[in-house]
Amino acid sequence: MTSVKAQTERSDERKSLFREYAESIIIAIVLALVIRAFVVQAFKIPSGSMEDTLLIGDHILVNKFAYGIQIPFVEFKLHLFGLLGSPGRGDIIVFPFPRDPSRDFIKRVVGLPGDRIQVHNHHVYLNGGALKEPFVKLDEQMALRSSPYRNWGPEVVPPGKLFVMGDNRDNSADSRDWGFLEDEKVKGRAFMIYWSWDGSAPKVAWLGSIPVPNPKAILLDGIRWGRIGKLLQ
């Protein structure tokens, strides 16, 4: 009887331990899903439209709670602009591409509702005054040619809309191309680079005609150590 009782107790202990592990895993998964849905989501930069602020291969974190609460699985957003703030000039935001909502775009807010925006010879004028934008990248070769993005406007940003642009002004499809962005479409504000990988850097060494992995190249050239943890402004 004693032996049977001991075995039963050990079996109960194993079941209890398994239950605790299972509950911990389930709770962790639920918390991760909640955080991703409501608070923070990771995105990877696939293009150079925001160079040199964001480079291809940068992995960023986006605060989805910055301007409101997106209700998962439905096209509804609980706006809390009065409590949490609203998109401001200079914010780097993520939103679904208006022409293809299955793709996410990242741009910088330049104009708010009521702002008068004009682009003349690559320079942006806000309400009549030239903007100081030290982060902007211009393509010198493009400047020598006729660019459809060199001049735009003037136009006034309508209510409930935003005027957004990429920092790489000559290589960005933005509001100059597809128009104003509905502010309710904004998913969140990008705030940090948590990982950066240069896919163009050589990752192999050659032994005669045989390529072999080069750990030194991967660690020193592939990973952009100086960008990891960088806060976005």
Q: How far apart are CA 159 and CA 62, in angstroms?
A: 25
Read off the pLDDT of each residue in 172-193 and give the average, rounded to a whole number.
Answer: 94
- Please tell me the pTM assigned to this model: 0.77
Q: 27 falls in which pLDDT band (50, 70, 90)?
A: confident
Catalytic residue among 3, 11, 16, 49: 49
pLDDT for residue 82: 45
Q: Which of 150, 197, 153, 154 is nearest to 172 (CA)?
A: 150
Cβ atoms of 110 and 165 within 8 Å: the answer is yes
- Report the range of poorest mean pLDDT among 19-23, 110-114, 152-156, 159-163: 19-23
Does residue 187 have an active-site annotation? Answer: no
CA 56 centroid distance within chain: 12
pLDDT for residue 113: 97
pLDDT for residue 199: 79
Give ∠ CA 15-17-21 in degrees, rounded to 5. Answer: 115
Does residue 49 have an active-site annotation? Answer: yes
**Domains present along the chain, CATH in parentheses:** 45-227 (2.10.109.10)
Q: Per-residue pLDDT for 7 more than 90?
A: no
Read off the pLDDT of each residue in 119-125 and give the average, rounded to a whole number.
Answer: 90
Catalytic residue among 107, 161, 185, 187: 107
50-108 pLDDT per residue, tens: 999 999 999 999 998 888 766 555 555 555 554 567 899 999 999 999 999 999 999 99
Peptide bond into 52 cis (omega under 30): yes
Tokens of 84: 């949490």
